[in-house]
Amino acid sequence: MILFVVILALLAAGVVAWASERLSKDAPRLVSIVAFGAGLVWSAALWLDGADAGGLYAAMDWPWIGRFGIHLTLEMDGLSLLMVALTMFLGIVAVVSSWDEIEAGHGFFQFNILWVMAGVVGVFTAMDLLLFFFFWEVMLIPMYLLIAIWGHEEKAYASMKFFLFTQISGLLMLFAILALVYVHHGATGEITFSYKALLEAEIEPRIAIWLMLGFFVAFATKLPSVPVHTWLPDAHTQAPTAGSVILAGILLKTGAYGIIRFAVPLFPEASADFAIWAMLLGTVSILYGGAMAFSQSDFKRLVAYSSIAHMGFILLGVYAFNELGMQGAIVTMVAHGFSTAALFMMAGAIQQRLHTREMSQMGGLWKHAPRMGTMTLFFVIASVGIPGLGNFVGEFLALLGAFQQNWVMAVVATAGIVVAAVYGLYLMQRSFQGTPNPDVASMRDFGLREMSVMAAMMAGLVWVGVYPQPVLELSNATIQTLGILP
């Protein structure tokens, strides 16, 4: 019940934000902040409150379209709670990061942000496959609008590319969902989209592999994994800062979440057979994403490609089929949400100040903005994977898990941390270090508003880095109940 209310509240907040634009241009932002802030407090309260006996923090189940067995089933277990809390937090970050970037349409902008997030919360809690697909689409359209309306110079191309990739892969997932329901109906005579019921479905291995691929392709595109990653650099680069933050921080995680929640548990045998290929894709993503990141001269594009590399660790970890790898993947999701969101926020801040993302136009910015330099340094270091910060925990666990499963793949993937160092430090060098660019006369440094968000993300990364236990415990409950570990 409460979950449905929260989603509706986010949707309603979107409408209120849009309408409140008449009052002042600050009003929509405040509505968003309050909505996400309340959401964050709510998820923290749920966390502190603890789960019920079934490991759930909240649940509801209403019939929706009865004759097809479609229910409004929303459930929140540990993993969902973790992801929802991250969503709420990054919602605040997104709003703050685009605070004075948007020049027109404040109300509609916040409306879109709130609706994306409502869709995301739905995705993270839906336990009915059609409902899941519904929310999957709900997040897509506002995101498309965010890029298409408030994007940068090539927004039309980027937003269309984003839309097509997501939509086509989503279509595959819809086919797979319908086919799964059909097969289940053939076996039991019952039409249902319920996740729990379909978990029990007996599927012929020959069919299961195709259905699994339908899900996998959709999630791998969202993740994204090589070779369906090419929408991401364009979308990230062209999106407004808030869009990049949401895209990197949250939307990519829905792909990872989908793999963990749906692709693997629904088809455990098929996934086990496929694991080696998925790990291969992960490994290739790590290395290829890293190498591509190094090639870029655009600050945002570089960070975008680094996301691809980080997402490779998630594939590697999940398909290692052990607790270490799975936990590594989940911690990576959280840590990457912080570190990359911060870097995108930084990219947006630089672009707003210098009107360029090209690193050849930067250099030596530390002189003008030591705070921004320090922050960039911190988050670059985090994304390079220095122990003590969140990304390390995730990547180390993922690699450790993968090594138990397939040592060759893990060894090759470990080389990715060298590549990460190469591009991460090069980013730092070309933007903030080196000889100050004479074309840059001055640059406004971060103020209190930006610093407080940055500080929160730093604290988050350090927390996950040195004491990830709460996160691990939260996700552990889910991992155990998914029943995919040997």
User: Given the rule CB under 8 A, which residues bind another protein?
Assistant: 161, 226-227, 229-230, 233, 288, 291-292, 294-297, 322-324, 327, 364, 366-367, 370-371, 374, 377, 381, 386-388, 392-393, 396-397, 399-400, 403-404, 407, 410-411, 414-415, 417-418, 421-422, 425-426, 429, 432-436, 466-469, 472, 476
* Residue 2 C-beta: closest distance to another protein, Å: 30
Peptide bond into 224 cis (omega under 30): yes
Residues 262, 260: Cα–Cα separation, whole Å:
6
Can you tell me whether residue 71 is helix, strand or coil? strand
* Residue 386 C-beta: closest distance to another protein, Å: 5
* Residue 200 C-beta: closest distance to another protein, Å: 26
Closer to another protein at the Cβ: 295 or 452? 295
Which letter does DSSP use for residue 128 in this model? B
* Residue 181 C-beta: closest distance to another protein, Å: 30
Closer to another protein at the Cβ: 5 or 408? 408
Q: What is the CA radius of gyration of the chain?
A: 21
Tokens representing 166?
């997501």
* Residue 315 C-beta: closest distance to another protein, Å: 16
Closer to another protein at the Cβ: 205 or 388? 388
Closer to another protein at the Cβ: 166 or 327? 327
Closer to another protein at the Cβ: 193 or 288? 288
Identify the CA nearest to 278 among candidates 314, 246, 237. 314
* Residue 317 C-beta: closest distance to another protein, Å: 11
Residues 209, 471: Cα–Cα separation, whole Å:
32
Closer to another protein at the Cβ: 42 or 423? 423
Please check whether residue 409 is in contact with residue 316, taking contact to mean a CB–CB distance below 8 angstroms.
yes
* Residue 88 C-beta: closest distance to another protein, Å: 24
Tokens representing 369?
């903005």
Closer to another protein at the Cβ: 258 or 325? 325
Please check whether residue 107 is in contact with residue 18, taking contact to mean a CB–CB distance below 8 angstroms.
yes
Q: Say which amino acid occupies 338.
A: F
* Residue 314 C-beta: closest distance to another protein, Å: 16
Closer to another protein at the Cβ: 146 or 302? 302
* Residue 247 C-beta: closest distance to another protein, Å: 18
Buried b / exposed e across 152-163, counting CB within 10 Å, b at 16+?
eeebeebbbbbb
* Residue 140 C-beta: closest distance to another protein, Å: 18
What's phi and psi for 59, nearest 5 deg? -160, 150
Can you tell me whether residue 163 is helix, strand or coil? helix
* Residue 33 C-beta: closest distance to another protein, Å: 25
Closer to another protein at the Cβ: 24 or 469? 469
Closer to another protein at the Cβ: 199 or 415? 415
* Residue 157 C-beta: closest distance to another protein, Å: 10
- Please count the residues of the chain: 486
* Residue 426 C-beta: closest distance to another protein, Å: 7
Identify the CA nearest to 360 among candidates 311, 308, 425, 431. 431
Can you tell me whether residue 207 is helix, strand or coil? helix
- 3-state SS, one letter per residue, for 292-358: HHHHCCEHHHHHHHHHHHHHHHHHHHHCCCCHHHHHHHHHHHHHHHHHHHHHHHHHHHHHHHHCCCE
**Residues 6 or more apart whose Cβ sits within 8 Å of residue 436:** 363, 364, 365, 367, 368
Q: Residue 254, CB half-sphere, CA atoms under 13 Å: how many?
A: 30
Closer to another protein at the Cβ: 312 or 468? 468
Tokens representing 73?
């089933």
Give the number of other CB atoms < 10 A from CB of residue 83: 30
**Residues 6 or more apart whose Cβ sits within 8 Å of residue 374:** none
Closer to another protein at the Cβ: 276 or 466? 466
Buried b / exposed e across 25-40, counting CB within 10 Å, b at 16+?
bebbbebbbebbeebb
Closer to another protein at the Cβ: 161 or 222? 161
